[in-house]
Amino acid sequence: MPRRTSRDIRSDSMIDVLHAVLSAGETTRNDLMRSTGLSPATVVTIVNELIEADVLAETKVSAGRVGRPTSIFGMNAARGRILGIDVAETYVRATMFDTALNQVSYTESARDEHVLEPGSIVETIGLVVDELLQSEGVCREGVLGAGISLPGLIQEPSGMAVVVPNWEWRSVELDRLRERVGLPLVIDNPLKAMVNAERWLGRGRSAASLATVNLGTGVGAGIVLEGEVLRGATNSAGEWGHSLLMLDGRLCRCGRRGCVEAYIGVPGIQHTLRELAPSHPLADVELQSDFISLLAHAAESSTPDDAARETVARTAYYLGSALADLVAVVNPDVVTLTGWTTWALGGQLLSPARERMRSQSPGRAGAAVELEISAVRGNPVVTGIAMIALERSLVDAGLLTTRIPVVL
């Protein structure tokens, strides 16, 4: 098993500093000592090293009332561009960030989910990247790296592979991807990308252990333990969406029965509504995003819609029950909710789901755990995978020692 070295310890301290800088926006060495708890000598050494490497930039020098002027600094946004690319079943989205992780621009392209030929998927990714770079007038040399989130990325004894139902990529396809995109690449799966955003930009700044739960068409959890993303033996830890809510229950799109996703994924929520009221006007809305917004609206409307309200109540009950399982096994400090079901319906789900989660968690784990809506907005998969690309540039520069699973 991999053992940690003294370089890892220095890397951990540097991560604490970068966390604090990203959190504060602009900060000083004195503030960093307070917020990180690191020794003055460590903070000074690390900050100087990061300024030397152009990762941090001094923005101004504030002359305090007494003593020497104080240097104020933040992430150096001008070091280059970073791309975060989310390859989903029905679209490819590429977002450009600066090196302070501010979003600059994005391009999205619809994808026919029935087209499974790797060459075609690679070409779509390549075209989206080309278009984004062109529209921003940025050449490839101006991009430090790109992160690509691919569904189903796993680790096998023979190496990394991308395995999703009906498409399977190995080194040949990954080589083709690297050549077509023409940028330093990292790839990871969406749950790992998403929780990495929470780790760097959300609750990971203050909690030692956390789970981030994505609610959308599919559902899943990313897990961080003592500051590190839990990957598992095949990089597939966190597949809580396909753990059991109900043995032999509803058929899930993964082919098994009774998975959490079959109840709280968007099609599962619509299934609940159809069980309650088969002829409800929302029962046959085709677009999932429309369905969720309309449901959120109907459940809160002043015109009573009992079926919509009961659907939301049952969804919260299922969600809270399933979250209690995550608490039972992993016992995290905090669970955050993210994804587009959360943005549409999270306000209505949060309080009843929290109550159910706490009452169903064994022992006192429930009383100790927080349930919150993630403060990381936008598409956390894109942000998280871009953060991994940025982290990789810091590993390449010899600054961090994070193990990044696939670097192409």
Binding site for its own copies (CB under 8 A): 1-6, 8-9, 12-13, 16, 152, 154, 156, 163, 208-209, 221, 223, 225-227, 230-240, 242-247, 249, 254, 256, 318, 321-322, 324-326, 328-333, 360, 362-365, 368-369
- Residue type (1 letter), 22: L
**Token pair 């004894």 is at which residue?**
157
Residue from 147, 143, 146 nearest 80 by CA: 143
Q: Of residues 81, 199, 242, 280, which one binds Zn ion by CB under 5 A?
A: 242
Min dist CB 189 to Zn ion, Å, is 16
Residues in the chain: 408
- Measured from the CB atom, the residue of 82 and 319 that comes closer to its own copies is 319
- Measured from the CB atom, the residue of 133 and 194 that comes closer to its own copies is 194
Q: Residue 38 and residue 219: Cα distance in Å, rounded?
A: 37
Which SS3 state, helix, strand or coil, does residue 226 take? coil
Stretch that binds Zn ion, among 71-79, 135-143, 159-167, 259-267 (CB under 5 A): 259-267
User: From Zn ion, its own copies, none, which one binds at residue 188 (CB under 5 to 8 Å depending on kind)?
Assistant: none
- Measured from the CB atom, the residue of 159 and 363 that comes closer to Zn ion is 363
Q: Do 389 and 383 form a contact (C-beta atoms < 8 A)?
A: no
Q: Do 145 and 187 form a contact (C-beta atoms < 8 A)?
A: no
Instruction: Tell me the C-alpha to C-alpha distance, in Å, between residue 154 and each of 17, 159, 190, 234, 235.
Output: 31, 9, 11, 5, 5
Min dist CB 217 to Zn ion, Å, is 12
Neighbours of 55 (CB within 10 A): 23
- Measured from the CB atom, the residue of 323 and 395 that comes closer to its own copies is 323
- Interaction between residue 237 and Zn ion (CB under 5 A): no
Min dist CB 360 to its own copies, Å, is 6
Q: Of residues 21, 185, 259, 376, which one binds Zn ion by CB under 5 A?
A: 259
User: From its own copies, Zn ion, none, which one binds at residue 48 (CB under 5 to 8 Å depending on kind)?
Assistant: none
**Strands 406-407 and 143-149, bridge-based pairing:** unpaired
Instruction: Tell me the C-alpha to C-alpha distance, in Å, between residue 315 and each of 228, 236, 327.
Output: 30, 25, 18
- Measured from the CB atom, the residue of 64 and 362 that comes closer to its own copies is 362
Instruction: Tell me the C-alpha to C-alpha distance, in Å, between residue 9 and each of 1, 51, 198, 253, 402.
Output: 17, 20, 22, 43, 11
- Measured from the CB atom, the residue of 46 and 298 that comes closer to its own copies is 46
- Measured from the CB atom, the residue of 4 and 377 that comes closer to its own copies is 4
Residue from 193, 223, 202 nearest 404 by CA: 193
User: From its own copies, Zn ion, none, which one binds at residue 196 (CB under 5 to 8 Å depending on kind)?
Assistant: none
Which SS3 state, helix, strand or coil, does residue 165 take? coil
Min dist CB 182 to its own copies, Å, is 30
User: From its own copies, Zn ion, none, which one binds at residue 31 (CB under 5 to 8 Å depending on kind)?
Assistant: none
- Interaction between residue 252 and Zn ion (CB under 5 A): yes
Residue from 275, 257, 319, 268 nearest 292 by CA: 268
User: From Zn ion, its own copies, none, which one binds at residue 5 (CB under 5 to 8 Å depending on kind)?
Assistant: its own copies
Min dist CB 242 to Zn ion, Å, is 4
Q: By the criterion CB under 5 A, which residues form the site for Zn ion?
A: 242, 252, 254, 256, 259
